[in-house]
Structure 1
Amino acid sequence: MRTSVVAPYAAYLRVYEPLAAFAEPERGRWAAYAATQPTDTPAAPEAHSTAELTAQEHRSGLENLLATPPVVAPPHESEDAYVQVLDGVTVVCPRQTRLRCWTALAELRREYPATVLDVFWPRVVIDQAQVDHERWKSEHPDVHPHIHSSTWHVPVRWFVLFTPDERILVPAADGAAAGPGELYYRTPMVQARRRVARALRVLRDSVEDGALITGLESVGRWLEEFHPRAMVELDYGGLVRLLSGDDLAAENSVGDVAEGIAALGSGDGARASAAYRRITERWQSVRALEHAS
């Protein structure tokens, strides 16, 4: 029987790698771990819920934040992962909770002055987390986070990696009272890289929006760090709870992005602008809920 858990209002971009991508002894450890895990597939959504695992992780993060003193990053790396079996091949997405906390803190340090961060954590805690992160990076220069997250919206650049036919809508297991269900897109790594490269060619020839191009370039570089037979997953996470049933069924940002890029490639600026406007208006209405009372 499932427990009642609520995922945060965040979306996730995950990379699942085959066991062959990991060096020993990590490969053996993930193989043993995967053998004990039920898989979360469209054919067997009752096995376990990715949303449940994410919500549990979120709950642990809140407990760390409320601790005295607050914990910026767990003292040890997570030994858990998301597991899928695709065409008979087991693929694993390590949670890497500690690394992701360090990465998030580094991004906050770049974005906000120290006086703002001091409101949330004591300066000594932040400084020690940075020292720990730098030491870890020097010892693990080739390890990268398998998961990116985004609160209150899905970044437009993430939609580029997928096509509408890769959409997976998993109904809530216990009916309407359990919530709207789960929404994913999943695609092979080779397809994701190809779509990024194609979109970048079109955008560089068509637009002057440096932020859009820079963001997509960053996603492309991140994807290149992983095994070519990996799988990429976009999980709408808790954002599905901000969309009505009708809105969720009609949500087609992936299709709008594909249409916009195709329109730019053919020189149809009006159609490209219309597609982009649909996306921005849709997600602006969702992001506005962040400030609702």
Structure 2
Amino acid sequence: MTPAGTSARRRLPPTSYLRVFEPLRAYDDDAQLAIAAQRGVNRTAFEERAAIESLERTTRGITDPFPHDQAERYRELHYPGADGLTTPYYCPDQLPTRATLAAEQLDATMRPALLELLVPEAARGANAGRIRHESFAEDVASLHTRSATWGIPLGWFVLVNEDDHCEIEEDGNALLTVRLSAPAIQALERARFAAASLAIHAPELDILDELTSLGEWLSLFHEDSMIELDYGLVAEKVWPDESAQDLKLGIESLAEQDMLGAAAAYRRLTSRWLKVRQLARAN
């Protein structure tokens, strides 16, 4: 691990990711050739390079945080099978598309003067000119990565269990991230089961719409795909984390009309993430 890469990752806002990794056969010939050319780049090196490039874009002499003419890159997940061997799965970074969508979200939520300072109109116009609209539309339709800053959406925890495959990445004694992964078909079943239970016993909860959206999203990808919940630097604040267990217990308690059990699970969830929310407000 290079000191520069580690420093770069720690200088970015704590961001968590939910990713879908598809098997090689799910990609077309051009993508498979690109994946073959990138094999051998381990995950730590990939994330360090991505962090350094992100900082370089935001500190350019001329403010323009958008990526320029960058070839598609693919994260690689090695998922262990019952025979002890691992199988590789791949997730396209889709960075130009994700950056454009992020800028659009800022446009809808940020004051114009601040938006102009962070993402000038000239930069947005230049980025729009670089985008190939056909590939952009395809990426939007099958975006492999969802992200959240200073937290993790509750619905994401429904997709994982405490006994799922876990990878912990450390920098000395400090956590860089924790990644949980599971078969997408299993995650989809978990989302559908939780949504069906909540639709009956607590249809007013916002998480129901979130689970429905997640189920529709996961259905877009190859049936043999994998999902990955990447805590990012948020892991430093909450790991070891029992949010997935508490959310599952809360949903089960609602189904059994055990309001005390559901309330206790909710209190554990909110108290665990209170520090993270306070840090988010401070920033």
TM-score by length of 1: 0.82
Question: In 1, distance between residues paired with 2:153 and 2:244?
Answer: 11
CA contact (8 A) 2:78 2:87 kept: yes
Residues in 1 aligned to 2:95 and 2:139: alpha-carbon distance in whole angstroms: 17
Give how far 1:128 is off.
Answer: 4.1
Q: Matched residue pairs, number? A: 273
Partner of 1:45: none
Partner of 2:21 in structure 1? 16
For residue 285 of structure 1, report the CA deviation from its aligned partner: 1.4
- Matches of 2:65 and 2:134 in 1, distance apart? 15
Q: CA RMSD in A?
A: 2.6
> In structure 2, do the counterparts of structure 1 residues 107 and 209 end up closer, same or farther at CA, with 3 Å as the change threshold?
farther
2:218 is the alignment partner of 1:223: yes
Partners of 1:240 and 1:269 in 2: CA distance = 30
Give 1:254 deviation, angstroms: 0.8
What are the residue-to-residue correspondences of 1:53-202 with 2, within 5 Å? 53-86=46-79, 87=81, 88-130=86-128, 132-133=130-131, 135-136=133-134, 140=138, 144-166=142-164, 168-170=166-168, 172=170, 175-176=172-173, 179-180=174-175, 182-202=177-197
Change (3 A) 1:221 1:133: farther
1:110 CA drift (Å): 3.0
Q: Among all aligned residue pairs of Structure 1 and Structure 2, give the percentage whose two residues are the same amino acid.
A: 26
Deviations 1:46-79 (A, max 9, x none): xx52xx5334323322221222332242122443
- Contact 1:78/1:96 (<8 A) preserved: no
Q: Distance in 1 between matches of 2:57 and 2:208?
A: 36
CA drift at 1:27: 1.8
Q: Quote the Cα distance in structure 1 between the aligned partners of 2:136 and 2:161.
A: 38
Q: 1:131 to 1:267 in 2, by over 3 A?
A: farther
CA contact (8 A) 2:23 2:225 kept: yes
Q: TM-score, normalised by structure 2?
A: 0.85
Distance 1:56 1:242, change over 3 A: farther
Closer, same or farther: CA 133–28 of 1 in aligned 2, 3 Å = closer
**Counterpart secondary structure, 1:93:** strand
Cα distance, 1:255 vs structure 2: 0.6
Find the counterpart in structure 2 of residue 37 from structure 1.
Answer: 41
Report what 1:42 is aligned to: none
Q: 2 CA distance for matches of 1:139 and 1:153?
A: 28
Q: CA 1:141–1:32 in 2, change beyond 3 Å: closer, same or farther?
A: closer
Counterpart residue number, 1:289: 279
User: Helix, strand or coil: the match of 1:37?
Assistant: coil
Match of 1:267 in 2: 257
Pick closer, same or farther for the CA change 1:137–1:260 going to 2, 3 Å: same
| Letter matched to residue 143 of structure 2 | P
**Residue 235 in 1 paired to residue 230 in 2?**
yes
Q: Aligned letter for 2:150? A: W
Within 2, Cα distance between the matches of 1:66 and 1:3?
19
User: Which of 14, 27, 30 in structure 1 is aligned with 2:32?
Assistant: 27
The answer (yes or no) to whether the contact 2:91–2:144 under 8 Å persists in 1 is yes
Q: Distance in 2 between matches of 1:139 and 1:204?
A: 32
Q: Deviations over 1:166-214 (max 9, x none)?
A: 15252636x42xx135322110010011111111111222224453222
Whole-Å separation in 2 of the counterparts to 1:170 and 1:141: 29
Instruction: Please tell me the residue identity of whatever aligns with 1:25.
Output: D
Unaligned runs of 5+ in 2: none
